[in-house]
Structure formats: structure tokens, C-alpha cells
């Protein structure tokens, strides 16, 4: 699936909920399904700075596609991490770098997060794009 197809899927999922309490509950449920990050990657090296809660993000490249794993110590943030991983994993570095991630605004995520969580979301996106940029520069 392309990034746009994945974003469209998420927009459709969030459109099933009328209010933000239900959307937060959905984020919490998504957090519970976040693929487990290997414990060796839950170190300061993979910790995202700028997040209110602790967020670890690890990336690797396989056959020209970038894959992410992550975790957080906050349940809503885990759901946000899961959404980002879902959209950006299994994509080329170029596609990740160019991704506009419009689903974030389309579902109202950024406007319903606290300023510190919103900053954390931006930091996560920045880190994921940075990983993609490094992989591209290495020609991986």
C-alpha cells in the first residue's frame, strides 16, 4: 500500500467516531496493538527528544524499504506512534521524505493534542524522516 492509501484508511477509521473521546479511546486501542520493539532498542540512543513522554523509535532498511518499530510509556502516545509506523513503514526513503502526512490534520489529531504532545508528534515525524534521509544518503 502507498502512504496515501494508508492515510485514507486511517481517515476512514477515524470518521466512524463522532466525538474526540471516542477517537482518544481508539488511539488507546491502537497503542495496545503497537508491535513490540526489541528491548535492545529501548535505550537513550533511540529516544526521541521533544516528547513529553518517553518515545523510542528504531528504523532499519530491507530491500530498499524502511521499517520502523517503536514504543512509548504513555498510552495515547503509543497509539500515535502506531499510526505513524503504520503509514511510514514498508516505504522507500524518498516516499517517507516526501510524505505530507495530511491524515494528521484530516482526522483533527494535531488540534486535539496538548501543545507538548503536538510537539512530540512533530519530533517523531522529524526523526522518521531523518532516518529515511540517512538511508537514502547511504544508498541503502
Domains and CATH numbers, the chain: 3-138 (3.90.1010.10)
Angle between helices 20-32 and 3-15 (to 10 degrees): 130
Helix (H) or strand (E) holding 25: helix 20-32
Residue-wise pLDDT tens digits, 28-45: 999 999 988 999 999 999
pLDDT at 91 over 90: yes
Instruction: State the Cα–Cα distance between residues 22 and 28, nearest whole angstrom.
Output: 10
Confirm if 59 and 70 have CB atoms less than 8 A apart.
no
Is 60 noted as a catalytic residue in this protein? no
Catalytic residue (choose from 10, 34, 48, 51): 51
pLDDT at 77 over 80: yes
The model's pTM is 0.93
* pLDDT band for position 137 (cuts 50, 70, 90): very high
* pLDDT band for position 122 (cuts 50, 70, 90): very high
Instruction: State the Cα–Cα distance between residues 96 and 116, nearest whole angstrom.
Output: 24
pLDDT at site 140: 60
Distances (CA, A) of 134 to 1, 23, 28, 90: 23, 34, 31, 16
Amino acid at each position: 500500500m502507498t502512504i496515501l492509501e494508508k492515510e485514507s484508511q486511517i481517515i476512514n477509521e477515524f470518521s466512524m467516531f463522532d466525538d474526540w473521546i471516542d477517537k482518544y479511546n481508539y488511539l488507546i486501542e491502537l497503542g495496545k496493538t503497537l508491535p513490540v520493539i526489541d528491548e535492545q532498542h529501548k535505550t537513550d540512543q533511540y529516544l526521541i527528544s521533544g516528547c513529553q513522554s518517553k518515545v523510542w523509535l528504531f528504523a532499519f532498511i530491507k530491500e530498499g524499504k524502511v521499517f520502523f518499530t517503536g514504543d512509548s510509556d504513555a498510552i495515547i502516545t503509543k497509539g500515535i506512534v502506531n499510526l505513524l509506523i503504520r503509514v511510514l513503514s514498508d516505504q522507500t526513503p524518498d516516499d517517507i521524505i516526501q510524505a505530507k502526512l495530511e491524515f494528521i490534520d484530516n482526522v483533527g489529531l494535531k488540534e486535539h493534542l496538548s501543545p507538548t504532545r503536538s510537539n512530540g508528534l512533530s519530533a517523531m515525524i522529524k526523526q522518521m524522516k531523518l532516518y529515511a534521509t540517512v538511508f537514502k544518503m547511504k544508498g541503502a
